[in-house]
Structure 1
Amino acid sequence: MTSEVNHDFLNQLLKKAQMPSQHNLSLGDLKLLASAFLPTGAEAPSLRPKAYVVLSAICQGARSSQKKEKDENAATHLLVQIFAPLVVQLFGETDHVSLLTGAAFLTALFQVDPQSATSIFVRDGLVENVTDSVELSPSPELSIEITHLLGLACGHKACRAVISTQIVQWLDFTTQQTTEPALQIASSLALIKLSKGAASDPPENGTPNVPAGRMYSLAITMCEAITSRETESCLDAVEGLAYLSTDPVLKDQFAKNPPFLTELFGLVPTKKMAVQKGDTNTSLIYGVVAIIYNLISYRPRLNEEQEQMEKLKRMAKVAPPQSNNEASTLDDDEHVKARIGLLITAGVLPVFAAAITFTDSAGIRQNAARSILCIVEEKENRGKVLQAGGAKVLQAVIKQSLSASNSGAKSSMPSISSQELDAFQALAKLSITSSPVQVFGPNIGAIYDVIRPFSILLQHPSSNLLQRFETVMALTNLASHSPDIASRIAKADGLVDKVELLLLEDHVLMRRASVELLCNLIAGSDEIFDRYSGDSPNVASKLHIFLALSDVEDVPTRLAASGALATLSPAPNVCKALTKLQFDKHRFFPIITQLLDPTSLVDTEDAIMDTNPGLVHRAAVCIANVFGNTKDKAIRDIISREAKACGLVEALIRVAKGEGVTKDAPILHQATQALKLLKE
């Protein structure tokens, strides 16, 4: 039948398929199209891709014609009318070629339009004809094609309901036939998909049970197919392992099998020569990266309500408690960390760069980024990831996400999904603990480019508190690199406004990170310095927040907040605002005094706040600038009296004499200068 099919015929059929009406496709046309999916024949490899294009065009045309009705069922019904007569006729024959053609075509339809393929598969009598075909024309070739068809069908709930126990027994029997490796692996994949589907199907669906304990023996079969380099069955084996690698027990077994990991990683080409030869298989690479992610993914971090729901779900399960406990233990953070270490040792890190280089799959990019995010969770892994080019991988993934989002102006929030934020977060983690040059290289343009992704992650409506925290930490590190970078961060649309809101967060670390970033921006960006020191009515309220944060228990937060005040205090407007805060709230001098000497304002029975030389230095700078910038004699008299009343003068004297927490000469000199200005 293949001899009657050629590229010219498929091109003509493609033109017919693109016409408004689907009624111009005859049964003869469809039969010839179906023959192009046959796995054998000299022209099969070149005809099959074009045949998929034609089949896809037919399905898209049918669905487009029903768009006005907005009824998916109507489109599916139309496709069933087009294809069902052909499938029923082919499986009604007894000759080998017709049966093989029917299996190959329905397999292709499952891949192109699973809704119509499912509707055809569940028709009365079709499954029986499919299984009878193996007995009518027994051959390894037909058995493999039927097994592939069953494997695809097992991925759909409605199809699983019509799978009989006899089919399961036949699949189980063929998984043990080592003389036909391709058939053995294909049958194993079908059983795995049936078992995984049965776990989520309700009892009334009628999904048959897979023999107990078979998953572990099937896992061995799949691993052996990889380690023995069974190229013909490699794709099926990888797909089966992608399903199996979600099981905690099997995760541990796979990770502790170095030969298997080495061969698995070797399936991803690392040389451009492979691409030039056309050897790259996107589905295979996707499966490899999916397995890697399954092995090293942490359990989702749940809030209290979600944890309670999970407990209720576990209590409702009928599985023995011991098995639940074992699975839970093998999937805890310590076991995940151990598996990550084993995969790094086995050479997983170069796989990600190769995977995204040789394919253009969004799924591969996303799984690569998610995997890197898991790996860089541990700080000691981050240097290894950087050495393997992990930052470049993440930058490439982010660039693709931003390009695909079709955002207009750079200031607008692009349509990035919450899943795509994993790449942004992973790059932020790397940027926290390493210098910008280590992460982005000597090219300053790469550092400039990452500011926008970090701004997006910080402001994205789906970002969680951890992602926002890590983004602020990364931006803080970038801002400290140079004033130029700090200025560019300050200009990112909406970024500073968001950080100012985060100053009010209840979470201590989030609040600390936000004030540290603002402190760095004030020191490095003229724009932000002016924002906090100009004559705007908002300046006083902004300074009031910094003053309040200089009085919290968390010492790093106090250091950053008082550091911001010290940096701003040379500006006359800031000194006026701080003096006004003292007159209105009577809090400025007491807080400064406590920074200089925590014992000066509390009874001996009260808790004494920690202090350190940094806090003393910042307080001395602030008070020296306020005294020095206050020229009005009446105001100077008032602040002098209030400074003495709250013990500020005594605290300065103790610091100047070296009786405080620091003996550092510059700090003592600063305190002396403050005292001198106060007396003047």
Structure 2
Amino acid sequence: MAKLNSVEQTQLILARLMEGGQEDDDTSRELDSLTKLLNDESEHKNKGQPICEVIDDVCVDTILGYLDMRQADPVRGHAALTASAYLKAAGDKAADALRTFFFDRVKRGTYDDYIVAFCVAAAIFPLAPDIMADIFLTEGFLPSLDPLMRRKWKSRKVETACLEMLNAASMNAQCREAIQKYCTDWLEEVVDQDPDELSKALHSAAHVTEGSIAMRRHSEAVQNLAAVILAKLRAVPSAQTTTEGTESRIEQATTSIEDLSKMFSTMLLKDPESGKKHSVEGLAYATIQPAIKEEVARNAELLTTLIKILADAPAKSPLTYGALSIFTNLTRYQPAQTEEQKKMTQLKAYANAAGKLAAPNPLNDDDHVSERCKRVFEAKIIPVLVTHSRHGSVASLNLIVSIIAALSVTTSLRGQLAQQGAVNLLIAAFTALPDSESQAKRTAAQALARILISTNPAHVFGGTRARPQNSAIRPLISILPSDPAAETRDLLPTFEALMALTNLASTDDDTRTTIIRTAWPEIEEQLLSSNPMVSKAAVELICNLTQCLEGIALYAADTPQAANRLHVLLALADAEDEGTRSAAGGALASLTGYEAIVTGILKRKRGVEVVLGLCSEESEDLRHRGVFIVYNMIACEGDIGKNARKEVREKNGIEVLKECAKSSRRAEVVEVTIQALKVLLEQD
């Protein structure tokens, strides 16, 4: 039997789909086969006649019919993929066919046709938002929904399908404005349905059966869905809300964002399994508002319920994304602003408020966000995030990283974050996120840095299931340079990465060597940073790195680069900042155990003076470093030691050390000072 070409295969598949009556699994397989053929067409793999030419209006009707809400969910999912492939392969022809299909169904005006048309619109909106927005905004369409939705005797499936369409459309700004204009009134009527309506109607109309009156009532699921749409309108204001007329209309609205939030919360607490998808989606929008964030975060029972919903939600599902969005909103800090940016923000707020200076909402300040973060953490979210991070989508991983980054701002939580698996999560997320998600990768790396600053690496990486310690180095190194995409230079990630690397470099030579081999140029560049905190952090890191042979070689080698590095280190030992002087002194104390370093210091014009300056510091720690360096230098064998002793004596070193011994109270400082004095007082 000859092999069928792509057109013949398409015709055979469409015939079976039109015939219907198959098991859902068989229908899904047919749809998948058609999807593959359409994808091959898009990639020009099909030879001969284009298969889109044989897909006429009847075929389109068949394919789109499988998006009907009355079909099984798996079939609808496969049909959505097929519809997406057809839109891509057929281009303008598909857009025209979709428009024809939609308005033909709407014009027929039967409940069945409305259901199919609205279901198709809801399914296609995420796949082809521009095409669907153009159809949705066709003049006269939205106003026509008003009489349909206000019919006394209605179909709940029509209601549900219509609201699903509006819900999908409300993701588009222009569509949201149109919904605000034409649909707000009856959406509020649905949400604000009188709970006593049924009993009132039965008493006033004895000839009407209870069942028929019940059809006038909106189900909880329908009410919840209408509330989600209203939440989007309230939480994401359209352009119209800036006009005076719209503002007054919104003030008169009977259902506020607070009312909607309570409705979603009550629904979830009363019956988490019923309508949780829409309640979670509604709260995801409602918690954009500061007052709602605070209300949700203070409801421990609701937080626990949301975390359970997240734990049970399938990976890569809308429910997972919605629940993660809620926690992202609750924990989000306001972006840091320079003074200039703060002034510009105030001016814009002043202009938008028609001359009234709008103050930032206090519920968004760092103290309130920090408190919400603690409440979210105490609700035991981390183990659930760890589980979801292993199989989640890129979009979900973005949100997970954002939540943990916000929690890591609170110092007291960092140890517990590490204990519960946040470090492994962040390292894995940094690796898993594609390069196109550069901001999320930076966020993961910065959160990792914060946790590693405040925790003992031996505890974090010592467990049997822990990742190797060196796996944290690459993410930390990635945020040493400033973010090239940022409008303003933010040195906080650089500072935190240096501090975290310093902590790691305090452990073992293998870690120190890895840091040097993978990041030395970036570290050395930060030494000369204009920000003293960053410069100090870089010197502290180098102080730890010079504990290994690889670090010592960078300064002891007989090269101009090594000599220049030593010159910079001596300059930093004389810096204004005490912490910088201390770190540079610590590095020199390690390095001066090697004769090449002593020779290098002696060659510098003020090398010995800088070292003696450390011996005269008020801080005992600094004096300890200074006398230790002096002792290392003058205790050298041969000509190098002789030259060092001569230079120290000539720079009044004996008097400096005597004064150091008198003013010191710590035994270890006095002991090293006396040993150094003995060596200096001996005749060469």
1:144 matched to 2:160? The reply is: yes
1:215 matched to 2:257? The reply is: yes
Note the alpha carbon deviations across 1:101-131, whole angstroms, 9 max, x for none.
Answer: 0000111110211111111111223324444
Distance in structure 2 (CA, Å) of the matches to 1:501 and 1:232: 58
1:465 matched to 2:504? The reply is: no
Q: Determine which of 464, 471, 474 is the counterpart of 1:452.
A: 474
Note the alpha carbon deviations across 1:30-87, whole angstroms, 9 max, x for none.
Answer: 212222122225xx2231111011011112224xxxxxxxxxxxx5x54431210000
1:418 matched to 2:439? The reply is: yes
Q: Determine which of 179, 182, 192 is the counterpart of 2:221.
A: 182
1:229 matched to 2:229? The reply is: no
Note the alpha carbon deviations across 1:170-210, whole angstroms, 9 max, x for none.
Answer: 11100123651111111111112223443455768998954
Q: Determine which of 364, 371, 383 is the counterpart of 2:396.
A: 364
Q: 1:118 to 1:206 in 2, by over 3 A?
A: farther
Note the alpha carbon deviations across 1:133-170, whole angstroms, 9 max, x for none.
Answer: 44578211110110111122222122234337452111
Quote the offset at 1:595 in angstroms.
Answer: 1.5
Native 8 Å contact 2:480 2:493 kept in 1: yes
Q: Which residue of 1 aligns with 2:509?
A: 483
Q: Which residue of 2 aligns with 1:60?
A: 88
For 1:126, give the aligned amino acid: F
Note the alpha carbon deviations across 1:354-406, whole angstroms, 9 max, x for none.
Answer: 3324x4211211111111111121111112222322222222212312xx34x
Native 8 Å contact 1:372 1:390 kept in 2: yes
Native 8 Å contact 2:297 2:330 kept in 1: yes
1:295 matched to 2:295? The reply is: no
* TM-score, with structure 1 as normaliser: 0.85
Native 8 Å contact 1:91 1:133 kept in 2: no
Q: Determine which of 430, 433, 438 is the counterpart of 1:398.
A: 430
Q: Determine which of 619, 634, 643 is the counterpart of 1:611.
A: 619
Note the alpha carbon deviations across 1:578-613, whole angstroms, 9 max, x for none.
Answer: 1110xxx3x223222222124xxxxxxxxxxx321x
Q: Which residue of 1 aligns with 2:379?
A: 346
Q: Which residue of 2 aligns with 1:101?
A: 116
For 2:665, give the aligned amino acid: T
Q: 1:539 to 1:280 in 2, by over 3 A?
A: closer
Q: 1:164 to 1:484 in 2, by over 3 A?
A: closer
1:539 matched to 2:562? The reply is: yes
For 2:472, give the aligned amino acid: V
Note the alpha carbon deviations across 1:264-292, whole angstroms, 9 max, x for none.
Answer: 1110226xxx8xxxx55621111111111
Quote the offset at 1:417 in angstroms.
Answer: 0.6
For 1:514, give the aligned amino acid: A
For 2:164, give the aligned amino acid: H
Q: 1:496 to 1:220 in 2, by over 3 A?
A: same
Q: Determine which of 260, 273, 280 is the counterpart of 2:302.
A: 260
Q: Which residue of 1 aligns with 2:676?
A: 673
Q: Which residue of 1 aligns with 2:529?
A: 505
Q: SS of the counterpart of 2:662?
A: coil
Distance in structure 2 (CA, Å) of the matches to 1:577 and 1:557: 21
1:269 matched to 2:311? The reply is: yes
Q: Which residue of 2 aligns with 1:115?
A: 130
Quote the offset at 1:486 in angstroms.
Answer: 1.0
Moved more, 13-22 or 364-373: 13-22
Distance in structure 2 (CA, Å) of the matches to 1:81 and 1:309: 46
Q: SS of the counterpart of 2:125?
A: helix
Q: 1:562 to 1:46 in 2, by over 3 A?
A: closer
Q: 1:470 to 1:526 in 2, by over 3 A?
A: same
Q: Determine which of 653, 658, 662 is the counterpart of 1:659.
A: 662
Moved more, 163-172 or 421-430: 163-172
1:528 matched to 2:559? The reply is: no
Native 8 Å contact 1:473 1:517 kept in 2: yes
Moved more, 642-651 or 52-61: 642-651
For 1:49, give the aligned amino acid: G
For 2:347, give the aligned amino acid: L
Aligned residues between the structures: 621
Q: Determine which of 557, 565, 573 is the counterpart of 2:588.
A: 565
Quote the offset at 1:238 in angstroms.
Answer: 1.1
Native 8 Å contact 1:652 1:675 kept in 2: no
Note the alpha carbon deviations across 1:207-264, whole angstroms, 9 max, x for none.
Answer: 8954546211111111112112253421111111111111111111111112211111
Native 8 Å contact 1:627 1:674 kept in 2: no
Native 8 Å contact 1:80 1:116 kept in 2: yes
Quote the offset at 1:341 in angstroms.
Answer: 2.1
Q: 1:388 to 1:201 in 2, by over 3 A?
A: farther
For 1:422, give the aligned amino acid: T
For 1:455, give the aligned amino acid: I
For 1:90, give the aligned amino acid: R
Q: SS of the counterpart of 2:333?
A: coil
1:496 matched to 2:512? The reply is: no
Instruction: List alignment gaps of at least 5 residues for structure 2.
Output: 1-16, 43-49, 196-217
1:87 matched to 2:102? The reply is: yes
Distance in structure 1 (CA, Å) of the matches to 2:443 and 2:517: 24
Distance in structure 1 (CA, Å) of the matches to 2:467 and 2:60: 55
Quote the offset at 1:479 in angstroms.
Answer: 0.8
Moved more, 24-33 or 97-106: 24-33
Distance in structure 2 (CA, Å) of the matches to 1:222 and 1:534: 68
Distance in structure 1 (CA, Å) of the matches to 2:246 and 2:106: 24
Identical residues among aligned pairs (%)? 25
Q: Which residue of 2 aligns with 1:171?
A: 187
Q: Determine which of 25, 35, 40 is the counterpart of 2:70.
A: 40
Q: 1:460 to 1:642 in 2, by over 3 A?
A: closer
Native 8 Å contact 2:654 2:677 kept in 1: no
Q: 1:445 to 1:297 in 2, by over 3 A?
A: closer
Note the alpha carbon deviations across 1:324-363, whole angstroms, 9 max, x for none.
Answer: 54x6211111111221222233333333123324x42112
1:310 matched to 2:345? The reply is: yes
Q: Which residue of 1 aligns with 2:418?
A: 386
Native 8 Å contact 1:161 1:205 kept in 2: no
Q: Which residue of 2 aligns with 1:649?
A: 654
For 1:313, give the aligned amino acid: K
1:430 matched to 2:447? The reply is: no
Q: Determine which of 240, 244, 266 is the counterpart of 2:286.
A: 244
Native 8 Å contact 2:177 2:239 kept in 1: no
Native 8 Å contact 2:449 2:476 kept in 1: yes
For 1:162, give the aligned amino acid: A
For 1:354, give the aligned amino acid: T
Q: Which residue of 2 aligns with 1:604?
A: none
Native 8 Å contact 1:628 1:677 kept in 2: no
Quote the offset at 1:671 in angstroms.
Answer: 4.1
Native 8 Å contact 2:176 2:238 kept in 1: no
> Please, what is the CA RMSD of the aligned residues?
2.9
Instruction: List alignment gaps of at least 5 residues for structure 1.
Output: 63-74, 406-414, 599-609
Native 8 Å contact 2:177 2:240 kept in 1: no
Native 8 Å contact 2:115 2:158 kept in 1: yes
